[in-house]
Structure 1
Amino acid sequence: MSSCTWPKVLLFGDSLTQYSFSADGCWGSLLANFLQRKCDVINRGFSGYNTRWCNKMIPSILSEFDAKNISMVTVFLGANDSNLPTNKQQHVPLEEFKQNLLEIVEKIQSHGVPREKVVIIGPPASNISAWEKDCQINGRVCTKSNTETAKYAKACVEAARESGCSSVDMYTEMVKEKDWENMLNDGLHLSSRGCEYLFDLLKPVVTKVTAELPMLYPDWKQVDTNNPELPFIGK
């Protein structure tokens, strides 16, 4: 019997990726639905991680996959790096952040994935007052500033341009919208509205990258009722 190797879309990042199949943080689910019967969408998101750590771990993540089966990789980082320097565990200085992104893309390319298949997603803005309340409830100090996050979002666009891959500037686009704070469910993480907005920004890039991929296995209307096994045995 013949086998079918499904192309992979790899989502790599922090909690905004880790939660991307949850009820609220559903942009990964929306992407999987958009690519149904074309790709497997694989979640490799790590809550709380920054580019310094992700730069070290990306070779291990990539080793799980054959490069020729990877149709796209999203790199969605910056929400933790852009914390103020008082958050010594997660904060990464701006220049190092950009260099880490460049090195992450370089490592993805070195694994055999063309730069055209890599998308850097910049961090969203934060609803600072809402995130302060969430931090207080959970015994943490709020160390977010949209002034800082905007700089990291710009660095994402610059890193994408310099490395020759695509970018989605979530921060710049979302703050243009009325009541953009509703795109967040706790002040930091994306709500369902925010995820739908992100998916709409991603869709043109995804469509371009995956345009050549066929739907796997025949449409049910094309199955030979007398010989239904034929598509599955390679004849």
Structure 2
Amino acid sequence: MTKRLPAAVLWDMDGTLVDTEPYWMRAEIELIREFGGSWTEEDALQVVGAGLWDAAAVFQRAGVDLPADEIVQRLTERVREQLAQHGVPWQPGAQALLKSVRDAGVPTALVTMSIRSMAEDIVAAIPFAAFDELVTGDEVAAPKPHPEPYLTAAARLGVDIADCVAIEDSPTGLASATAAGAVAIGVPHMLPLDDAPSDVVWPTLDGRSLDDVAEVAADAWTRA
């Protein structure tokens, strides 16, 4: 019997598709030091997976005397500079899994709290047509962990979110995906996912294929 495929596979970006978190941390440290503050790795972890405007409020409380929009713009541009200088740091196995999904004709969307300009930089670096839709942090009213980003992706693709699989690396992202009703695969990166809502946690995407994604979805649909 042929395994039922997801109606779509929905991808987080930072930390899931690409390892850009060190770039973000460097940008955050530089910005906060400019205003006389300090920013540690522990501080940085509290905003992993969060919406950029939510993170901007954290930076303002840490002493960055700028409007939220300017904070978001400056951080994003600094990360984009690092991407241009050092290249896109792909997460192990991410491109291969994405390619297997695309080759099977399964629709895909990138669901990221980064803004569209940066998401487009990442997508442009992928050597194949990777995504049917992009949902970005500057396009939604409520960021992750709210379900809106994933519900928006499913609506744009014209599919039922309950028939979709989301791949995420953070508790915030998994909360968004599961609240929306997607089957959720967690792949930990900067933060542990022990207590995060998910259908399964994989240590890495390396070696994974669409068959593995379909198996997780089938198990979740059987339990539903």
**Normalised-by-shorter TM-score class:** 0.3 to 0.5
Relative to the length of structure 1, the TM-score reads: 0.33
Structure number with greater Rg is 1
Give me the TM-score of the superposition, normalised by structure 2: 0.34
